[in-house]
Structure 1
Amino acid sequence: MKHLHRALLLASALSGLAPAVAHADPAACANVRVGQPPWGDIAVTNALTDTVLNAIGYNTQPQTLAVPVIYQGLKDGQVDLFQGNWMPAQSAFRAKYQGGYEVLTTNLTGAKFTLAVPDYVATAGVHSIADLGKFAVKFGSKIYGIEPGAPANKNISAIIGDSAYQLSGWQLVASSEAGMLSQVQRAEAAHQWIVFLAWEPHPMNVRFHITYLSGGDKYFGPDYGAATVYTLGRPGLAAQCPNLVRFISQVRFDVDTENALLAPVAEGKAEVEPEARSYLAGHPQLLAAWLKGVTTLDGQPALPAAEAALKSN
């Protein structure tokens, strides 16, 4: 499996982020507070990580928080881990909170993040963000985004305010991820025009027929907002909890896997935690790569403990 091979290579290349010999973490590392924005993709990646950590003796505590609150929580020591640092979209937060977090690893490459339209809108002539202004009436002069305060919404507001795009009078409609996608679903069912924030991995890429728009390089980055996702930790986490960070530094995801896991969850056909357990149980080589050199919280080999826990569920 090419993604597994890539994961193994990356794990080997980045193994220098953690000690070569694993030792049990102190009891103070047992409770792991995980920042989780209300995004479907992060719910899946956190479920995979949480499943393994809980199996090897840690107690994960997911906290559903907005991105700015997560960064402040990392700085203040109230959040331990954040697996959703999308770059370059969160560059401003990385700069603002410099020194208030540790970059632990790259957990995903090949992602993308920019504005999109249904395929039938693209067929009608909308291929770039620069095309939107010509069809203001059809779009209702609205761009649909996610929760208020999200970095992507700030980029959308900046696009609306940029005279080069000729979007004077347009409005950002901020909503939850679920609310935005409900609007997309209604629009697609009625064959109405809509432009919205889109990203991959996400089940929207399977659920809807969408076209990503070019022309957003200034705000979302080149290649349709090509993104890399990092895992951040609170300051001092690597020194205090080296075994935990060794595991986290070896965790890799890929776009195809996340899309596949997200689709049944989004369609209501599966719950995220059982789906994560099932996936891990069916991919023993991936689990072994993630747990190479890792112990349980009490110092025992982690892989046998994790395998036993997955079999018992």
Structure 2
Amino acid sequence: MSLSRRPLSLVLAGSLLAMSGMAQAEEPAEVRFSSPAWPGVTVKTELASILLEALGYEPRAEELGSTITYQALNQDELDVFLAAWLPAQQGMYDTATDEGSLVDLGNNVEGARLGFAVPTYVYEAGLTSAEQLDDPEFADQLERTIYSIEVGSGMSDTLNGAVEADTYGLGDWTLSETSTPGMLSAVDSAIDREEWIVFAAWTPHWMNIEHDVRYLDDTQDMWGPDGGRSDVKTLVTTRFAEANPNATRLLDQLSFTADQQSAMIRGFSFEEREPDAVALEWLREHPARVEAFLEGVTTRDGEPAWPAVQQALEIPDA
């Protein structure tokens, strides 16, 4: 089962109706996030936490892997997960949502994608689709080698499956699997020398800012439906959504483009800045987006959210 986006008006109809025409009851203060050790969700969770704290909540985050996260959500040991990558986590997602204990608030990153990438000079030389990888004209220049990240990662599993199945004629290709830093070091070196290289890439990530690269068309959907394009879902527990309609509305409205999240990842992972500093800088530089996040939201004690957050975080006028 793939749970479709459930409109907030349906999930919270009873709670919102009860709030109509009267002061909002104060919601529980604690908001428990899972924040796996991935740079994108680290900064995004920090950003959500900064906003919630300014509204009077008490957010906290635990660094957990995705498998444990889904289990903890189903057992009401967590409240919020901002990094449900689909279809990469489809099996875990389907199992968890079948239990009926989670609410899918929809995609929080527009433009996420997995796929093969090459330097732009390679793309402009004619290699634009994965279908062309086995063409001797291109395969020889690439030395029939694909650079990738850690063995055991989802991307590694996808690539190994493609080699085994001879997808795109990759059956006789070599996978150079090291780590994300190791792979990107090889990309750096190749680009510096204007050499040919093909590697496993994804967005959002700072690699898309620091490197001039293009993604190859994935006509066989090797990386997933629609050529590897992905959703990054916000999940909350049903209990949390019902008890915290105001906080849930904020989380429902929290969304970014892939380029915006790539920039945040660059600040944290590439520039090695603290995630709270990166998140706060982004909030101050995007007042209109922050005001949109807070539309219809109040502080925990019922006051308008935007003026309170603007003052607390020193955000300029939108």
Question: Is 1:273–2:272 an aligned residue pair?
Answer: no
Cα distance in 1, alignment partners of residues 233 and 176 from structure 2: 28
- Which residue, out of 306, 311, 316, partners 1:308? 311
CA contact (8 A) 1:66 1:149 kept: no
Cα distance in 1, alignment partners of residues 259 and 304 from structure 2: 30
Compute the displacement of 1:17 (Å).
Answer: 4.6
Compute the displacement of 1:207 (Å).
Answer: 0.7
Give 1:55's aligned residue. 54
Percent pairwise identity: 33
Give 2:296's aligned residue. 293
**Aligned-pair Cα RMSD in Å:** 3.1
Cα distance in 2, alignment partners of residues 271 and 212 from structure 1: 30
Give 1:5's aligned residue. none
Question: Is 1:46–2:30 an aligned residue pair?
Answer: no
Compute the displacement of 1:228 (Å).
Answer: 2.6
The within-5 A match list for 1:61-210 is: 61-99=60-98, 101-133=102-134, 134=136, 139=142, 141-210=144-213
Q: Rg larger in 1 or in 2?
A: 2
Compute the displacement of 1:239 (Å).
Answer: 2.1
After superposition, the C-alpha distances for 1:98-125 in whole angstroms (9 at most, x for unaligned) are: 3353312322223322111222333455
Cα distance in 1, alignment partners of residues 209 and 252 from structure 2: 29
Compute the displacement of 1:25 (Å).
Answer: 1.5
Cα distance in 2, alignment partners of residues 69 and 200 from structure 1: 24
Cα distance in 1, alignment partners of residues 64 and 225 from structure 2: 28
Q: Structure 1 residues 266, 281: closer, same or farther in 2, change over 3 A?
A: same
The within-5 A match list for 1:16-35 is: 17-18=11-12, 19-20=15-16, 21=19, 23-27=25-29, 30-35=30-35
Cα distance in 2, alignment partners of residues 156 and 116 from structure 1: 13
Q: Per the alignment, in what secondary structure is the counterpart of residue 42 of structure 2?
A: helix
Amino acid at match of 1:25: E
The within-5 A match list for 1:233-252 is: 233-252=236-255
Q: Per the alignment, in what secondary structure is the counterpart of residue 314 of structure 2?
A: helix
Q: Structure 1 residues 96, 157: closer, same or farther in 2, change over 3 A?
A: farther
Cα distance in 2, alignment partners of residues 252 and 198 from structure 1: 22
Cα distance in 2, alignment partners of residues 65 and 187 from structure 1: 35
Cα distance in 1, alignment partners of residues 237 and 280 from structure 2: 27
CA contact (8 A) 1:17 1:249 kept: no
Cα distance in 2, alignment partners of residues 195 and 184 from structure 1: 8
CA contact (8 A) 2:146 2:173 kept: yes
Cα distance in 1, alignment partners of residues 272 and 238 from structure 2: 39
Amino acid at match of 1:116: A
CA contact (8 A) 2:8 2:105 kept: no
Mean CA deviation greater in 255-264 or 197-206:
255-264
Amino acid at match of 2:106: T
Q: Structure 1 residues 180, 233: closer, same or farther in 2, change over 3 A?
A: farther
Cα distance in 2, alignment partners of residues 72 and 175 from structure 1: 29
Aligned residue-pair number:
297
Which of structure 1's runs of 4+ aligned residues deviate more than 6 A? none
TM-score, normalised by the number of residues in structure 1: 0.78
Compute the displacement of 1:15 (Å).
Answer: 5.3
Q: Per the alignment, in what secondary structure is the counterpart of residue 98 of structure 2?
A: coil
Which structure has more relative contact order (CA 8 Å, sep 6+)? It is 1
Give 1:8's aligned residue. none
Q: Structure 1 residues 263, 132: closer, same or farther in 2, change over 3 A?
A: same
Mean CA deviation greater in 202-211 or 40-49:
40-49
- Which residue, out of 214, 218, 223, partners 1:220? 223
Compute the displacement of 1:173 (Å).
Answer: 4.8
After superposition, the C-alpha distances for 1:39-59 in whole angstroms (9 at most, x for unaligned) are: x33233223212212222333
Segments of 5+ residues of structure 1 without an aligned counterpart are 1-12
Compute the displacement of 1:299 (Å).
Answer: 4.6
Segments of 5+ residues of structure 2 without an aligned counterpart are 1-6
